[in-house]
Amino acid sequence: MSDRHIAILSQGIVAHDGRLRKHARALANANYRVTVVGRRALDGQEPNEPFEVVYLQQDRPDFMWPWWGRPSVWRPVRGVVNRTYTQVRLDFHWRALITSSELTDIGYALKPDVVVASDLYALKSAGLVSQRLDVPLVFDSYEFFEGYFDNHYAQREANRLLKKWVPRASALLSPCPLKPLGNLYARARREIVIANSAPWEEVTPTALHEPIRLLSQSGIRRASGELLMVQAMQYLRDKATLTVQGRSVDPAYLAEIEDTIARHGLEDVVTLTGAFDPSEGVRCANAFDIGTVTRPSPLSRNNDIARPNRFYNYLNAGLACAVGNTTGFRTFSGMDEFGILLDTTSPETIARDLRPLLENPEQIAHMKYRAKELYRPHTWEEQERKLLALYAEMFASESASAA
């Protein structure tokens, strides 16, 4: 093992952060010593990985009424206090989240040769460690954090962090190009795009099915737009079926989807399969014809430029794609060869844009094979190569400077 030590700092749950684990695993398998600092899952789940994990002990603050404040006589007082505390708590949580003395102290004690902020919430701690130890800082910005937060206070603090630390980072890692899009990201010295893609799978695009099989593969949440696609199926039931694969992270939203299926009699057209193993995402998708991404409008700036992981699963599995007309998809090379862009304003516009493709099976079959071919430059193997090249160059440069 190399004596080069890389510390990856995070405020998130290590077991749930696929991007962090994938990067750490690649570096550990390249014989770097890698230590990840983050939070333990509530269910105690621990990843079995080739890198060391150090868990944060501090929990996020919470407000609890003492026993004397719980009787109903205090209800009006509790209402006023809770409304006031909501904003105070939000501000306090945010400041606690970005200013973790525990995370900073652990990072400093590790004495790494490179320190990585795996998200915005670890950027201040990683920056302070980098500054104190005089070692390179890498910022993995898995989201576009300019204009990301609805809360003004949170966005103001985010902007301060980006303004201070992005120019000092030796490298900015991002899942899609961010530097050309933002005033604060434009200050980055260097950006390396590392897509959230999957390893190449030796699967062959399947023959077209009858009826055509549509797939929506994602964690079921309102921002993912599964409900829009389900509602569109009432206009497409004569041409296709829809399967929604994924774990629900919003029970109320899932209930709304189930109610829509029952109300419109879509039980024979729409299937909800529940959670799947993310490592099997490509093989789960291979049995379908068209992969869909129908995030509802209006989109946040982040969702407009981002390409979700499922999009890469669709390409890898050999699926034609029907996706929202967003900046991220419009600028993807070869998009018109394997997919179409949808107006996701309403279920009616989705059905209107998708029907011509469903009525052209020869085009779908061609798109399926082109999708698999065009995925090659975007495989995780290619992303890993860029990641390892970055660190090899950083350490080579450091050795040359020392000499």
> What pLDDT, in 10s, does the model give residues 349-382?
999 999 999 999 999 999 999 999 999 999 999 9
Res. 2 pLDDT band, cuts 50 70 90: confident
Element at 283 (helix H, strand E):
helix 281-285
Report whether 342 contacts 324 (CB < 8 A). yes
Cis status of the peptide bond prior to 211, with omega within 30 of 0: yes
**What is the rounded end-to-end Cα distance, in angstroms, of the chain?**
22
- Token pair in block for residue 118: 């795996």
Residues 355 and 390 in one domain: no
- Token pair in block for residue 102: 């525990």
The better pLDDT of the pair 388, 91 is held by: 388
Residues 370 and 391 in one domain: no
Cα(256)–Cα(101) distance, integer angstroms: 42
Residues 359 and 269 in one domain: yes
Does residue 205 sit within a domain?
no
- Token pair in block for residue 390: 């970055």
Residues 178 and 305 in one domain: no
Residues 191 and 237 in one domain: no
CATH number at residue 10: 3.40.50.2000
Cβ contacts of residue 344 below 8 Å, gap of 6+? 225, 228, 294, 295, 296, 297, 324, 325, 350
> For 130-153, how does the pLDDT look when each residue is reduced to its tens digit (9 = 90+)?
999 999 999 999 888 888 877 777
Residues 27 and 140 in one domain: yes
Number of helices (H), then strands (E), belonging to the chain: the values are 15, 13
Cβ contacts of residue 242 below 8 Å, gap of 6+? 214, 215, 216, 229, 230, 233, 269, 270, 271, 292
Domain count, the chain: 2
Does residue 9 sit within a domain?
yes
Residues 37 and 134 in one domain: yes
Does residue 85 sit within a domain?
no
* Other Cβ atoms within 10 Å of 22 Cβ, number: 20
- pLDDT > 70: percent of the chain: 88
Cα(317)–Cα(51) distance, integer angstroms: 30
> For 207-264, how does the pLDDT look when each residue is reduced to its tens digit (9 = 90+)?
999 999 999 998 898 889 999 999 999 999 999 999 999 988 889 999 999 999 999 9
Helix (H, G, I), strand (E, B) or coil at 361: helix
What residue ranges in 259-319 does DSSP mark as E strands?
270-274, 290-293
Write out the residue range of the structural domain in which residue 53 sits. Answer: 5-58+100-197+380-402
Cβ contacts of residue 143 below 8 Å, gap of 6+? 119, 120, 302, 306
Residues 284 and 231 in one domain: yes
Does residue 83 sit within a domain?
no
- Token pair in block for residue 148: 């990301």
Residues 395 and 331 in one domain: no
